Amino acid sequence: MSLLQALAYFFWEAVRNLLRGWRISSLAVATTALSLFIGGTLVLLGTNLTRAVDQWRADAQVVIYLAEDASSDQLAALRSGLENSSVWTQVREVSPEQAQIRFKQRFPDLAQVAGDLERNPLPASIELRSRGSRVQVAAEIAELVRQGAVAEIDDDGEWLEKMEAAASVASLLGLLIGGILMIAAAISIASVVRLSTFVYRKEIAAMRLIGATEFFIRGPFVVEGLVQGVAGSVVALAALWLGYYGLGGLELPWFARGALLDFFLSGGQTSGLLALGGLAGLVGGLIPLRERTGVFG
Amino acid sequence: MSLLQALAYFFWEAVRNLLRGWRISSLAVATTALSLFIGGTLVLLGTNLTRAVDQWRADAQVVIYLAEDASSDQLAALRSGLENSSVWTQVREVSPEQAQIRFKQRFPDLAQVAGDLERNPLPASIELRSRGSRVQVAAEIAELVRQGAVAEIDDDGEWLEKMEAAASVASLLGLLIGGILMIAAAISIASVVRLSTFVYRKEIAAMRLIGATEFFIRGPFVVEGLVQGVAGSVVALAALWLGYYGLGGLELPWFARGALLDFFLSGGQTSGLLALGGLAGLVGGLIPLRERTGVFG
Amino acid sequence: MIEFFNVSMVYPGDKVALSEISLRIPRGQFVVLAGKSGAGKSTFLRLIYRAEVPSRGQILVNGRNVASLPAKKVPFLRRTMGIVFQDFSLIERKTVFENVTFLPHILGVDARTRRELAERTLKRVGLLDHIDAYPAELSGGEQQRVAIARAIVNGPDLVLADEPTGNLDPDLSREIMRLFEEIHLEGTTIVLASHDPEAQKEFGQRLLVLDHGRLVADRPLRVMETEAAVQG
Amino acid sequence: MIEFFNVSMVYPGDKVALSEISLRIPRGQFVVLAGKSGAGKSTFLRLIYRAEVPSRGQILVNGRNVASLPAKKVPFLRRTMGIVFQDFSLIERKTVFENVTFLPHILGVDARTRRELAERTLKRVGLLDHIDAYPAELSGGEQQRVAIARAIVNGPDLVLADEPTGNLDPDLSREIMRLFEEIHLEGTTIVLASHDPEAQKEFGQRLLVLDHGRLVADRPLRVMETEAAVQG
Ligand SMILES: Nc1ncnc2c1ncn2[C@@H]1O[C@H](COP(=O)(O)OP(=O)(O)OP(=O)(O)O)[C@@H](O)[C@H]1O
Ligand SMILES: Nc1ncnc2c1ncn2[C@@H]1O[C@H](COP(=O)(O)OP(=O)(O)OP(=O)(O)O)[C@@H](O)[C@H]1O
Ligand SMILES: [Mg+2]
Ligand SMILES: [Mg+2]
């Protein structure tokens, strides 16, 4: 038999075995699918969470409340310092009047009360958005304080740090769990392939007894592993897709929507998932065949 | 054979089968262990994260910056209002001087600069910690603004909302993944038990042919499932324990430490995990035996 | 004790294995079932122990219609029989001892009595040496003898034996056939399928011959004095 | 062609299956291997096709020491042989057709030729009707004949047959033995283990008798005119 014929033979034998032993093989397919599904969910989550944190970082503000007695020189110096710095991506002045309007929007119940006040107690402020590291931002803030026109500085950075830590813990955990699960998938496929060699040990022994080479005996099992792995990843992708668009139809808190549902897997991630499934299957199909002590001893 | 003898017989048969077919059974044990490990990790994480968020909620402050021109009557009214409200768990006044000291501590590089300023630009403030819902807190804040002595209010609540949403998404996800994995564990044990009935189909047929009742034929398989499930949960607990104290030895960001490592599983959670494993095993052992079409047809 | 009423067996794919068999085997009879390969001998026996349900007709064992027996009762039917299967059907992962005493074990016989039972029975089939071996460690003929020992260990009322000497040499065959004869003399009904012309000539009281699923002969057997003449 | 030099086989647990066997089987000889159950017949054959490695001594097949053959080469040794196993060793999940043509298939014989080969061979063993059946759908004797068909389908130089007629009735046995005789006349070496006294009397050129692992007789056989006398 030529190599091509042999591969075709392996493939058909594998498909036949899988169809006949579908209860056995569905276990491996399910485990692989589950692993890749959870792995994929974590990748999806990681991607979306990272983007969300980036978004929040961009949204995070440093608010400078201006001292009421700041001189216009001081203010001009402050403004030009802010404009010329490369750290700030947005510099927006909020006058006491604007602050009051915003306040009324935020607490509509109090709009009347606020309007009644004899004097607007809200100070003028400048809202800044930053680019760059926390250290740079801190240095700039120090510089601002030095200028003297500043009454108070309110910085979202501390919270942002928490969110970033959360995102990085989530990513780390995702990688860890994903990795464990991929290994689990390979082991599971290996176990199923080994099992199927065990279930059919008599047949294998018979084939060997009548002169079949290891190549022909093992080939179908390797292909069986491969097919199971690929099948598992296809199932996982389908489930991810369904879950993604299924969640899309639900009422979710804005946060969850942002963190979960901004981006589906990219083409690269999709083919990566398929390749991982195939790899797990291939490894799973090969592991039990390397052992010289078992059925293939 | 009495029921007790029969149970002993089932147990020994199950142990014997498991030891002989350890490669098969280790798959089920591993799947169960993995499922329970991941489930347990998520429970651990959820517990710690929830506590961390509670902690942050307790730490979260509403800071009231006092208007410089507030009258002492206004201030007294504000103070007594705060003291008498049940929403605030802490009311701490920070004088401009204390604010300056804190500022110097926070930005030590700037300590000198700040000291050099002709006038302390930092306003007096009152730091509040709250108990109760966001709605209550918002209402109280509105009330404060009405008093007129307030220049600006800085509220950590928005960020806290994000963290709480993150924690609830994580818990939801944990429950979901944990649930899926527990089902997966039961299915996996079921598959392995079914497999082991399939692998030994000839033996089972032989036993049936010579007059063994289903009770005696199936008993060992049910016990086999149970033993596998319990073994899986023991392995999972051991892995959790090792992972927990292993992580404890690492350098982790404070955030991760708080969210991951404050509390190990409680006694209830531990026995819950064991019970879940046993249940998965029992269900897994029973499912294939209920089918009248398979080996047990 | 065993009655066939117009029994036919058609396997899936329209393979007729038995057609229109009617007969009566009284308690205590030693029946030899002959016929070419594929004639339906195994099927005949499989119907009696309800491994198969007849396509048509009725089979009564001790007055009970075995086809209509609920699945739950089948084990209790089989426990009254000792069965030697053509493919032995030994339990691979149990030793000879455990195989032979499997039924006594689940019936609650204690370990010491089981050992005694096993030793006595294995001695009869000449396998005492191999009591702790696994089936895979035995030769074909040895496995066959384990199957026979297992069938007779409990002193059943009815013994069904499918080709019990196919893997045995003539001397041993004759010994095993004598064993069946002995058990028969203790009052046991025996239905024994065999290709062995010796068995068919020397042993049993009645010969049934199947051909393509039909009962083509049913005649009494007498022990003939040919033993010396054919000695190998 | 086959040479045994002081071959002994001791199974784990100190079970001596063969001891100190030395003999030579020339190319083209038809050897009948006899002996009681457990005498070592299957072991003798298993050593030749390297299912077992002798504990002591050497076995040469076509001048090659089979014990020292690397594992990778074993399949190529076995392909030159046609082997009928005592337990048939059929491939359960393949049909009769696929079982018989398994080796031709992996050797690259195309589907049409395989069908032809299978049909021709199954006709010789009288099983053409069952070409698409699975082993589980066959009677004991039919399975045995599938095993025989598989062994001879490729026209091997050497045929090893372990009890190839144990499940067959006398007529069919004789037919199958004639088939071996025919193959032998085409130049094939045959080593056939059998309990069947008919086989031992009517067929083959040389009788080897084993007893408790020892070669106790090795004598030429002539076809005797007993066929009519023992007809069943
Ligand atoms: N794998 C094994 N392990 C241990 N002992 C074995 C093994 N295989 C065979 N034996 C023992 O070796 C002896 C010879 O066995 P063998 O199968 O060669 O006999 P045989 O002549 O073919 O008998 P039969 O006619 O019953 O098939 C027997 O006593 C058997 O118990
Ligand atoms: N499960 C099955 N499915 C389809 N056909 C079957 C099945 N079992 C047996 N047969 C067919 O029924 C016929 C009778 O089979 P049976 O096993 O009763 O024969 P037998 O007399 O015992 O033969 P042998 O002496 O070869 O054992 C055979 O032709 C066989 O092919
Ligand atoms: Mg039969
Ligand atoms: Mg043998």
What chain C residue is nearest to B1 in terms of C-alpha separation? C108
Sign of the four-CA dihedral C38, C42, C45, C50: negative
Subunits close to D (at least 3 CB pairs below 8 A)? A, C
Per mean pLDDT, which range of A264-273, B229-238, C196-205, C214-223 is the poorest?
A: A264-273
CB D33 within 8 A of CB D191: yes
Separation between Cα atoms, residue C193 and residue C34, nearest integer Å: 6
**C13 Cα nearest atom in ligand 2:** 4
Q: Give the nearest partner residue to C91 out of B1, B20, B203, using CB atoms.
A: B203
Q: In the predicted model, what is the mean pLDDT of chain A?
A: 76
Separation between Cα atoms, residue A242 and residue A206, nearest integer Å: 45
Higher-pLDDT residue of D48, A190: D48
Ligand 1 mean position, distance from CA D61 (Å) = 22
Say which amino acid occupies A16. R
Eight-state DSSP code of residue D221? -
CA dihedral A61, A62, A63, A67 (to 10 degrees): -170
Residue D185: CB atoms within 10 A of its CB come to 10
Bridge-based pairing state of the strands D56-61 and D2-11? antiparallel
Gyration radius from chain C CA atoms = 17
- For residue D97, pLDDT beyond 90: yes
pLDDT at res. A158:
66
Eight-state DSSP code of residue B67? P
Eight-state DSSP code of residue C219? E
Q: How many helices (H) and strands (E) does chain D have?
A: 9, 10
Separation between Cα atoms, residue A135 and residue A133, nearest integer Å: 5
pLDDT at res. B132:
67
pLDDT at res. C80:
92
Separation between Cα atoms, residue C190 and residue A26, nearest integer Å: 47
Residue among B291, B276, B287 nearest B189 (CA):
B287
**What single string gives the DSSP state of each residue in chain A?**
--HHHHHHHHHHHHHHHHHHTHHHHHHHHHHHHHHHHHHHHHHHHHHHHHHHHHHHHHH-EEEEEEPTT--HHHHHHHHHHHHH-SSEEEEEEE-HHHHHHHHHHH-GGGHHHHHH-SS--PPPEEEEEE-S-HHHHHHHHHHHHHHS-EEEEEETHHHHHHHHHHHHHHHHHHHHHHHHHHHHHHHHHHHHHHHHHHHTHHHHHHHHHTT--HHHHHHHHHHHHHHHHHHHHHHHHHHHHHHHHHHHTS---HHHHHHHHS----HHHHHHHHHHHHHHHHHHHHHHHH-SSSTT-
Q: How many helices (H) and strands (E) does chain A have?
A: 11, 4
Separation between Cα atoms, residue A243 and residue A249, nearest integer Å: 10
pLDDT at res. C76:
93
ipTM of this complex prediction, to 2 decimal places: 0.77
**Counting Cβ atoms within 10 Å, is residue D134 exposed (0-12), middle (13-18) or buried (19+)?**
middle
φ, ψ of residue D88 to 5 degrees: the values are 70, -45
- For residue B270, pLDDT beyond 80: yes
Q: Establish whether residue D17 lines the binding site of ligand 1, counting it when its CB lies within 6 angstroms of any ligand atom.
A: yes
Q: pLDDT by residue (tens digit) across D26-67? A: 999 999 999 999 999 999 999 999 999 999 999 999 999 999
Higher-pLDDT residue of B243, C21: C21
D49 interfaces chain A, CB cutoff of 8 Å: yes
Q: pLDDT by residue (tens digit) across A99-120? A: 778 777 765 655 665 565 566 6
- Residues A157-184 as b or e (16 or more Cβ within 10 Å = b): bebbebbbbbbbbbbebbeebbebbbeb
pLDDT at res. C225:
41
- What is the distance of C-alpha D14 from the center of its chain? 27
Say which amino acid occupies A144. L
Residues 203-242 of B with CB under 8 A from C: 203, 205-214, 216
Sign of the four-CA dihedral A199, A202, A208, A212: negative
Residue among C162, C174, C181 nearest C126 (CA):
C174
Say which amino acid occupies D72. K
Residue among C87, C89, C12, C78 nearest C42 (CA):
C87
A1 interfaces chain D, CB cutoff of 8 Å: yes
Residue among D44, D45, D61, D50 nearest D1 (CA):
D61
Q: pLDDT by residue (tens digit) across B215-227? A: 888 888 889 889 9
Q: How many CA atoms lie within 13 A of B159 on its CB side?
A: 27
Query: Structure tokens of A136?
Result: 């740079």
Say which amino acid occupies D76. F
Q: pLDDT by residue (tens digit) across A53-105? A: 777 766 777 788 787 777 788 788 788 878 887 778 888 888 888 877 877 77
**Counting Cβ atoms within 10 Å, is residue B261 exposed (0-12), middle (13-18) or buried (19+)?**
middle
CB D206 within 8 A of CB D220: yes
Q: pLDDT by residue (tens digit) across A23-54? A: 667 777 887 788 788 778 777 777 777 777 77
Ligand 3 mean position, distance from CA B102 (Å) = 98
Q: pLDDT by residue (tens digit) across D64-79? A: 999 999 988 999 999 9
> All domains of chain B, ordered by start, with CATH?
3-56+161-290 (no CATH), 68-148 (3.30.70.3040)
| Residue ranges in chain C assigned as alpha helix (H) | 41-48, 74-79, 96-100, 102-106, 111-124, 140-152, 170-185, 197-202, 227-230
Per mean pLDDT, which range of A164-168, C143-147, D1-5 is the poorest?
A: A164-168
CB D103 within 8 A of CB A210: yes
Higher-pLDDT residue of B248, C217: C217
Q: pLDDT by residue (tens digit) across B93-117? A: 888 888 778 777 766 655 665 566 5
Bridge-based pairing state of the strands C2-11 and C15-25? antiparallel
pLDDT at res. B268:
81
pLDDT at res. B48:
73
Residue matched to tokens 């002969």: C217
Q: Which residues of chain C have pLDDT under 70?
A: 222-232
Query: Structure tokens of C69?
Result: 């027996």
Q: Establish whether residue D41 lines the binding site of ligand 1, counting it when its CB lies within 6 angstroms of any ligand atom.
A: yes
Bridge-based pairing state of the strands D158-162 and D81-84? parallel
Say which amino acid occupies B227. V
pLDDT at res. C232:
37
Q: Establish whether residue D15 lines the binding site of ligand 1, counting it when its CB lies within 6 angstroms of any ligand atom.
A: yes
For residue C192, give Cα distances in angstroms to C164, D2, D37, D87, D225. Answer: 8, 41, 21, 21, 31
Query: Structure tokens of B69?
Result: 């021109």
CB D34 within 8 A of CB D48: no
CB A138 within 8 A of CB B107: yes
For residue A203, give Cα distances in angstroms to B205, C18, C107, D164. Answer: 19, 31, 35, 19
Higher-pLDDT residue of D39, B75: D39
- For residue B46, pLDDT beyond 60: yes
User: Ligand 2 pocket test: which of C33, C43, C86, C195 has the largest number of ligand atoms within 8 Å of its C-beta?
Assistant: C43
CA distance B202 to chain C (A): 7
Eight-state DSSP code of residue A87? S
Q: pLDDT by residue (tens digit) across B2-37? A: 888 889 989 998 888 888 777 667 777 887 788 788
Separation between Cα atoms, residue D107 and residue C131, nearest integer Å: 44
| pTM (two decimals) | 0.77
φ, ψ of residue A117 to 5 degrees: the values are -60, 140
CB A51 within 8 A of CB A183: no
Separation between Cα atoms, residue B67 and residue A68, nearest integer Å: 11
φ, ψ of residue D5 to 5 degrees: the values are -120, 105
B118 pLDDT band, cuts 50/70/90, is low
Three-state DSSP state, C141: helix
φ, ψ of residue A201 to 5 degrees: the values are -60, -35
Residue among C48, C28, C70, C56 nearest C181 (CA):
C28
Cβ separation B211–C108 shorter than 8 A:
no
- What is the distance of C-alpha B90 from the center of its chain? 29
- For residue D96, pLDDT beyond 90: yes
Query: Structure tokens of D59?
Result: 């076995």
Q: pLDDT by residue (tens digit) across D155-170? A: 999 999 999 998 898 8
For residue D103, give Cα distances in angstroms to C84, D82, D149, D156, D168. Answer: 34, 10, 12, 12, 25
pLDDT at res. D231:
42
Eight-state DSSP code of residue A94? E
Cβ separation B165–A253 shorter than 8 A:
yes
CB under 5 Å of ion ligand 3: residues: C 42, 86; D 139-140
CA distance A162 to chain B (A): 7
Cβ separation A68–B65 shorter than 8 A:
no
Query: Structure tokens of B97?
Result: 């001087």
Q: Give the nearest partner residue to A65 out of B31, B145, B152, using CB atoms.
A: B152
**Ligand 2, pocket residues at CB < 6 Å:** C 11, 13, 15, 17, 35, 37-43, 86; D 136-142, 167
Three-state DSSP state, A60: coil
